[in-house]
């Protein structure tokens, strides 16, 4: 009986070469794909870095309140919610921290911030902080009832000729200016001021 020896089929050299070439092509494709992905990521990172730098430059070059660090412009104003003939004179308040608020009875955000201002006055008056309100483009017939409605007890009255508002660079109400004991402007909060913003501004004055 003759045993049949199983025949082994060898892969032709041409097929081996084709497989090798296919593997080499696949490897090259993978390398190229990875390289393209890496370049795309690098480009994206570069764009992000450039934009962050531009944003930082924009913030650093943003205009600041020009009066900061300068002596606060002096003013004298009659007081609507005080004794008859009472006035408030900023120069007389030197040595005390001052919160100067520009407001108007016709101003909606002013109505919203009044409770926070009165609460801030009640909270910090024992620390020697003085609050003053100056009415912008308003009349006593409208402003005085407004003060009574919101139970404002710190001195508030008119900027009678508008010169004080101009001196402080007021472009619209409300605006709140924080003045240090040395009579210099420390900061300004444009728009309605919140209790948190008041606290932060006053804490700067009390340092």
Q: Does 70 reside within a domain? A: no
The pLDDT, as a whole number, for residue 201 is 98
- Phi and psi at residue 178, in whole multiples of 5°? -105, 125
Distances, alpha carbon 74 to alpha carbons 134, 155, 168, 183, in Å: 13, 16, 10, 9
pLDDT value, residue 64: 74
Q: Are residues 102 and 147 in the same domain?
A: yes
Is 6 contained in some domain?
A: no
Report mean pLDDT in 10-residue bins for the chain, 207 residues: 50 54 61 74 62 43 76 98 97 98 98 98 98 98 98 98 96 97 97 98 96
Q: Is residue 45 part of a domain?
A: yes
Count of domains for the chain: 2
Shortest CA distance to 168 belongs to which of 146, 147, 190, 152?
190
Compute the distance between CA of residue 176 and CA of residue 190 in angstroms, rounded to an integer.
6
Q: Are residues 45 and 91 in the same domain?
A: no
Residue 40's pLDDT is: 73
Residue 144 lies in a domain: yes
1 lies in some domain:
no
| pTM check: above 0.75 | no
The length of the chain, given as a count of residues: 207
- Could you tell me if residue 28 is inside a domain? yes
∠ CA 122-193-65 to the nearest 5 degrees?
120
Residue 16 falls inside a structural domain = yes
Residues 181 and 155 in one domain: yes
Is 36 in the same domain as 88? no
Residues 170 and 90 in one domain: yes
Q: Are 133 and 178 in the same domain? A: yes
Distance (Å, rounded) from C-alpha 69 to C-alpha 133? 21
Closest CA to 167 of 73, 71, 70: 73
Ramachandran sector of residue 161 (left: φ over 0; alpha: ψ -120 to 50; beta: rest):
alpha
Q: What is the span of the domain harbouring residue 27?
A: 12-62
Report pLDDT for 62. Answer: 39
> Do 104 and 180 reside in the same domain of the chain?
yes
Single out the residue of 41, 20, 22, 18 nearest to residue 30, CA to CA: 22
């Amino acid at each position: 009986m003759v045993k049949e020896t199983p025949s082994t089929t060898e892969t032709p050299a041409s097929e081996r070469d084709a497989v090798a070439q296919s593997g080499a092509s696949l490897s090259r494709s993978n390398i190229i794909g990875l390289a393209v992905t890496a370049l795309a990521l690098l480009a994206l990172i570069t764009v992000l870095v450039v934009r962050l730098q531009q944003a930082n430059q924009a913030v650093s070059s943003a205009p600041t309140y020009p009066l900061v660090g300068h002596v606060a412009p002096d003013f004298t104003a009659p007081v609507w919610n005080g004794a008859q003939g009472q006035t408030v004179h900023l120069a007389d308040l030197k040595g005390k921290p001052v919160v100067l608020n520009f407001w108007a009875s016709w101003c909606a955000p002013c109505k919203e911030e009044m409770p926070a201002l009165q609460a801030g006055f009640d909270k910090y008056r024992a620390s020697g902080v003085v609050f003053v309100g100056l009415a912008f483009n308003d009349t006593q017939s409208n402003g005085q009832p407004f003060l009574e409605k919101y139970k404002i007890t710190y001195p508030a009255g008119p900027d009678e000729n508008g010169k004080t508002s101009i001196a402080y660079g007021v472009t619209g109400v409300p605006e709140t200016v924080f003045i240090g004991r040395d009579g210099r402007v420390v900061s300004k909060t444009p728009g309605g001021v919140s209790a948190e913003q008041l606290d932060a501004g006053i804490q700067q004055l009390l340092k």
